[in-house]
Amino acid sequence: MELKGDPASGMSGRVLDGRYQIEMRVGEGGMAYVYRAKDRKDGRIVAVKVLMARLVGDREAVGRLQREAQVAMRLDHPNVCGIVGYGEAVGLPYLVMPFLEGETLSRRETRHGPMPEPLAIRILRQLCLGLHHAHEAGVLHRDLKPENVMLVPGPHPGMERAVVMDFGLAKETVVSPEIMKLTATGIVLGTPEFMSPEQIRGKPLDRRSDVFALGVLGFELVTGRLPFEGTTAQETMLAHLTGQPLRLRQANPKVTAGLERVLARGIAHKPDHRYQSMADFEEALAELGQ
């Protein structure tokens, strides 16, 4: 909901730092408004994410935005949306990132329902590559879900590029004391449907937690359902902690036994039983021959 009188909600027409010509607002989330803008320096179109005014005094919200900038500016991969700039205008912190034309994976799922297996595997393999790049750069995503994946038209018709977005909850694997305070053990941040058991428990995380989230996302891609279901966030989290996942082919009998086996390992309850890296996950998907 737009906050009345919030200067962050009416940035259209402004020029930030003499460089970014704001054209129009294209979206908003719980923390920020997103605008399409033109970079006067090189003429390219960018997206500018401006923190809502009511959160400027919230040290945690500002810290999350700054952390997103710090970690995402280290990333440079076609399957990851990095950050190209960070600044402050009229007292409002903002991020600048490439402007991606396309639609979110969640919107695609809503419009078309479950994906054909070959297409789902192509998308999952791309996400593995992007997340592996982030992990190698020392960054965990921690909030992977269809809303945070953008499908962008590729160089050839029908060949889309999947891009991981929104590193707002990302956590560096080598954590500074300031970030440690911000994401203290016991504070659960993320989206319940996609959170690993160890994330729900507030335990220390590693790349295998993102592996779990991608496994859940893959399950939803080909079935339209979640492997762990509940009517409330609490029920969903409890199912992740104590329940057995729904079998993939029970949810969609058309899916191959190979994909069922691969995704079942991705969402194994114990981290040691999952793929130990996104590279391992991608290799298993590649072996399915798609």
Tens of pLDDT, residues 194-231: 999 999 888 999 999 999 999 999 999 999 999 998 88
Residue 59 lies in a domain: yes
Last residue of a domain, one of 64, 82, 98: 98
Model pLDDT, residue 134: 93
Cα Rg of the chain (Å, integer): 19
Q: How far apart are CA 69 and CA 71, in angstroms?
A: 6
Model pLDDT, residue 180: 33
The torsion region of residue 224 among left (phi > 0), alpha (psi -120 to 50) and beta comes to left
The residue with tokens 């970030």 is 179
List of the chain residues with pLDDT < 70: 1-5, 157-158, 168-190, 290
Question: Per the residue annotation, which of 6, 17, 58, 143 is the catalytic one?
Answer: 143
Model pLDDT, residue 93: 87
Q: pLDDT of 3-31, one tens digit each?
A: 456 888 888 999 998 999 999 998 887 77
Model pLDDT, residue 142: 86
Q: How far apart are CA 174 and CA 177, in angstroms?
A: 10
Model pLDDT, residue 70: 78
Last residue of a domain, one of 71, 98, 125: 98
Check: CB of residue 227 under 8 Å from CB of residue 246.
yes
Shared-domain flag, residues 158 and 243? yes
Is residue 6 among the annotated active site residues? Answer: no
Average pLDDT score, the chain:
85
Model pLDDT, residue 250: 95
Model pLDDT, residue 171: 53
Residue 2 lies in a domain: no
Last residue of a domain, one of 98, 126, 158: 98
Domain range for 250 is 103-286
Q: How far apart are CA 53 and CA 5, in angstroms?
A: 9
Residue 1 lies in a domain: no
pTM tops 0.75, yes or no: yes
Model pLDDT, residue 9: 85
